[in-house]
């Protein structure tokens, strides 16, 4: 039954729900309250129909396996559209469709699609329920799996509905799994209407509309008009032995180590000295200028939707500890005693059943899909920080960009200033991974790790970033975070990684904080400030001569070619590309010449 009365702020919500019900014709409508009883009933229902399979209750209590359709295992960027009145507002970085055409296409797909199903109405809040930085939405779906995941990933239910009633505004998300037909699958975003429509997929990023669809594509559009930033970034706190905590926001493309960095465990020497790392978020960051002029950030999500393969006691002990109970696993393998399993787990076991539900045969492919996932509450993480619930957010000292680059790019460098930092982010390149459909290992430009997620023209997005350094900005220039670029994935001639990564990445973060405080040295180069090898604490790290040369070196000829390529890339956006960014590219290219 719909809450509220027609005279309340919820009248618009009730009217929309009635409109959707008339179009989709469900057998029943259920308004989600987020309660334990509701969740237990949904879990039981999904176990009964095979949507969820209970895992080993001794090793993984209250944990379940979901197997999605084999053709529905990742984001589908080629079927994801931004529907703005003017095509240029969506930009060449997005697939565009005229809003009238998109609505007509989606209305035809949604027509009668929920017959025989229950329509779930999910009020949710992205961010702490009482934070002025948070934004609310409502997802309508016919998937109980989506409900169960949204309960973990957002602040869902009665408190969110109460906030929507107070504010009277929300993002509208309509989702149906349809027939899971890849030929009838679309994800449409209408940023000017604050509306999302998704049909034909049950996969996380396509179906959990609070995640990439709302928190990035729609929110980035909101952020531009309201003076803040919605970014594909983790947030972590680094506490030094003196008890000071610096917060860092870092952008990496999907499956490039965001979760590992967000939950980093310091090397033994650092732990003994008193260093601690706190996890605020592993994927999305909303930043806004505070009253003191600093950028403050919240994690709009309440949970982790992490990549399972490669997660192990060695690579990410905190993530592994987080998912030992009350977790939904998607598309992983299963052992003989019904425990979840994936490649890289390194627990001495192996799967007997693969992610499709077939007997596991390594000759026919991996046990777990390369993009298999876990959904778990952030509060289960051993490094979780209670600051993640702070209404005002946490102050950001540094912003980090990083991609997966086997060559050219050194371990770390610092941008000269804000404009240079925006160029560093805009020009970011990375090799593609299994988080999206298509070829893996292809180098592509992925500005700020937002290529699949920016809800408007990248040229305008870069202008918005640059605006934070204008004299009329709310942010005093001196208080802007420093910007850095890292590359954990540099390889040697033998094809092996040169940097140990994982916990040892704290050595790089320590240097960054030293730069923020004005205490660490650096070498000036045309591409930015690099640490000399001796500027990082490398106690316990063994690097060969090639490793030292490539991680801390500067390939002059390689960077000349890179900046020529960056210039060509910026030109792809035409006259809307901010001149300040083109001038910065040309300045660096000239210094390299």
Stretch(es) of the chain classified as CATH 2.170.8.10: 304-380
CA separation, residue 19 to residues 22, 107, 118, 199, 370 (Å): 5, 11, 15, 17, 39
Confirm or deny that 86 is annotated as ligand binding. no
CA separation, residue 494 to residues 147, 268, 407 (Å): 47, 29, 12
Confirm or deny that 548 is annotated as ligand binding. no
Backbone angles phi, psi at 96, to 5 degrees: -115, 145
Whether the pLDDT of residue 174 is over 70: the answer is yes
Whether the pLDDT of residue 477 is over 60: the answer is no
Which of 308, 312, 328, 330 is closest to 320 using CA atoms? 312
State residue 6's pLDDT score.
45
In tens, the pLDDT along 5-18 reads 444 678 999 999 99
State residue 253's pLDDT score.
87
Stretch(es) of the chain classified as CATH 3.90.228.20: 230-301+386-554
Active site residue 256: yes
CA separation, residue 55 to residues 41, 291, 339, 347, 355 (Å): 17, 48, 6, 17, 14
CA atoms 249, 255, 259, 264: torsion sign: negative
State residue 98's pLDDT score.
98
β pairing state of 285-289 and 229-231: antiparallel
- Cβ contacts of residue 311 below 8 Å, gap of 6+? 259, 319, 320, 323, 342, 344, 345, 374
3-state helix, strand, coil in the chain (%, to 5): 35, 20, 45
- 347 Cα distance to chain centroid: 28
In tens, the pLDDT along 262-304 reads 999 999 999 999 999 999 999 999 999 998 889 999 999 999 9
Whether the pLDDT of residue 470 is over 80: the answer is no
CA distance 493 to 498: 10
Of the two residues 536 and 434, the one the predictor is more confident about is 536
Confidence class for position 434, pLDDT limits 50, 70, 90: low
5-19, 228-242, 362-376, 382-396 — which is least confidently predicted?
5-19
In tens, the pLDDT along 126-168 reads 999 999 999 999 999 999 999 999 999 999 999 999 999 999 8
Confirm or deny that 260 is annotated as ligand binding. yes
CA separation, residue 278 to residues 262, 281, 320, 505, 508 (Å): 8, 9, 16, 14, 16
Fold of 304-380: Phosphoenolpyruvate Carboxykinase; domain 2 (2.170.8)
Confidence class for position 501, pLDDT limits 50, 70, 90: very high
Whether the pLDDT of residue 1 is over 80: the answer is no
CA distance 583 to 587: 6
Residues recorded for the chain? 593
Can you give the pTM of this predicted structure? 0.95
Find the DSSP H helices in 451-578.
458-467, 505-516, 545-552, 556-571
Confirm or deny that 505 is annotated as ligand binding. yes
Classify burial at 125, counting beta carbons within 10 Å of its beta carbon; exposed 0-12, middle 13-18, buried 19 or more. buried
CATH 3.40.920.10 holds for 11-51+76-226: no
In tens, the pLDDT along 29-51 reads 999 999 999 999 999 999 999 99
State residue 121's pLDDT score.
98
Q: What is the DSSP string of 427-473?
A: T-EEE--TTBSS-SS-EEE-GGG-TTT-SS-HHHHHHHHHHTTSTTS
Pick the CATH number of 230-301+386-554 from 3.80.30.20, 3.90.228.20, 3.40.30.10, 3.40.50.2300: 3.90.228.20
In tens, the pLDDT along 517-536 reads 999 999 999 999 999 889 99
State residue 200's pLDDT score.
97
Stretch(es) of the chain classified as CATH 3.40.449.10: 11-51+76-226
State residue 270's pLDDT score.
98
Q: What percent of the chain has pLDDT over 90?
A: 90
Q: What is the DSSP string of 337-372?
A: TS-EE-TT--SS---SB-TTSSBP-GGG--SS-TT-
Backbone angles phi, psi at 238, to 5 degrees: -120, 115
Confidence class for position 2, pLDDT limits 50, 70, 90: low
Confirm or deny that 503 is annotated as ligand binding. yes
In tens, the pLDDT along 82-126 reads 999 999 999 999 999 999 999 999 999 999 999 999 999 999 999
Confirm or deny that 120 is annotated as ligand binding. no
Whether the pLDDT of residue 448 is over 60: the answer is yes
Mean pLDDT of the 498-502 span: 95
What is the average pLDDT value for the chain, to the nearest integer?
95
Confirm or deny that 557 is annotated as ligand binding. no
Catalytic residue among 32, 125, 256, 381: 256
State residue 560's pLDDT score.
97
């Amino acid at each position: 039954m719909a809450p509220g009365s027609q005279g309340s702020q919820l009248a618009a919500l009730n009217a929309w729900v009635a409109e959707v019900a008339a179009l989709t014709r469900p057998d029943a409508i259920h308004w989600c309250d987020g309660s334990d009883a509701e969740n237990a009933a949904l879990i039981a229902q999904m176990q009964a129909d095979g949507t969820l399979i209970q895992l080993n209750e001794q090793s993984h209590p209250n944990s379940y396996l979901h197997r999605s359709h084999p053709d529905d295992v990742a984001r589908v960027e080629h079927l994801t559209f931004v529907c703005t009145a003017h095509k240029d507002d969506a930009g060449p970085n997005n697939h565009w469709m005229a809003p009238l055409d998109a609505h007509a296409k989606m209305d035809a797909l949604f027509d009668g699609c929920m017959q025989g199903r229950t329509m779930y109405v999910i009020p949710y809040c992205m961010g702490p329920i009482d934070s002025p930085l948070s934004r609310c939405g409502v997802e309508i779906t016919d998937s109980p799996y989506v409900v169960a995941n949204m309960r973990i990933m957002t602040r869902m239910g009665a408190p969110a509905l109460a906030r929507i009633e107070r504010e009277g505004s929300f993002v509208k998300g309509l989702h149906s799994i349809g027939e899971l037909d890849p030929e009838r699958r679309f994800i449409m975003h209408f940023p000017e209407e604050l509306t999302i429509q998704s049909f034909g997929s049950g996969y996380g990023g396509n179906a959990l509309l609070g995640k990439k669809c709302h928190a990035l594509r729609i929110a980035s559009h909101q952020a531009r008009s309201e003076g803040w930033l919605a970014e594909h970034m983790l947030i972590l706190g680094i506490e030094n032995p003196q008890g000071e905590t610096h917060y860092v926001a870092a952008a990496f493309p999907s499956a490039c180590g965001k979760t590992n960095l967000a939950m980093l465990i310091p090397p033994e020497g650092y732990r003994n000295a008193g260093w601690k790392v706190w996890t605020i978020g592993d994927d999305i960051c909303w930043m806004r200028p505070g009253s003191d002029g600093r950028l403050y950030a919240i994690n709009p999500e309440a949970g982790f939707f992490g990549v399972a393969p490669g997660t192990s006691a060695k690579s990410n002990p905190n993530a592994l500890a987080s998912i030992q109970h009350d977790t939904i696993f998607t598309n992983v393998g299963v052992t003989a005693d019904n425990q979840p399993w994936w490649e890289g787990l390194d627990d001495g076991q192996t799967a007997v059943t693969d992610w499709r539900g077939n007997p596991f045969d390594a000759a026919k492919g991996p046990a777990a899909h390369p993009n298999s996932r876990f959904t778990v509450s952030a509060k289960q993480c051993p490094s979780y920080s209670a600051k993640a619930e702070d209404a005002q957010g946490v102050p950001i000292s540094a912003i980090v960009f990083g991609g997966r680059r086997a060559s050219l790019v050194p371990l770390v460098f610092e941008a000269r200033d804000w404009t240079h930092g925006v160029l560093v982010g805009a020009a970011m390149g990375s090799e593609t991974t299994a988080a999206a459909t298509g070829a893996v290992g292809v180098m592509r430009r992925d500005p700020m790790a937002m290529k699949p997620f920016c809800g408007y023209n990248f040229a305008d997005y870069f202008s918005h970033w640059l605006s934070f350094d204008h004299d009329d900005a709310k942010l005093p220039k001196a208080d802007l975070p420093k910007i850095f670029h890292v590359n954990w994935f540099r390889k040697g001639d033998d094809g092996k990684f040169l940097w140990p990564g994982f916990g040892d990445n704290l050595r790089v973060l320590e240097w960054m904080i030293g730069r923020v405080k004005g205490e660490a040295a650096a070498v000036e180069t045309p591409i930015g400030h690099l640490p000399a090898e001796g500027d990082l604490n490398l106690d316990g790290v063994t690097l060969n001569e090639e490793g030292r040369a490539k991680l801390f070196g500067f390939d002059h000829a390689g960077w000349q070619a890179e900046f020529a390529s960056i210039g060509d890339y910026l030109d792809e956006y035409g006259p809307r590309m901010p001149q300040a960014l083109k001038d910065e590219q040309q300045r660096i290219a000239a210094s390299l010449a």
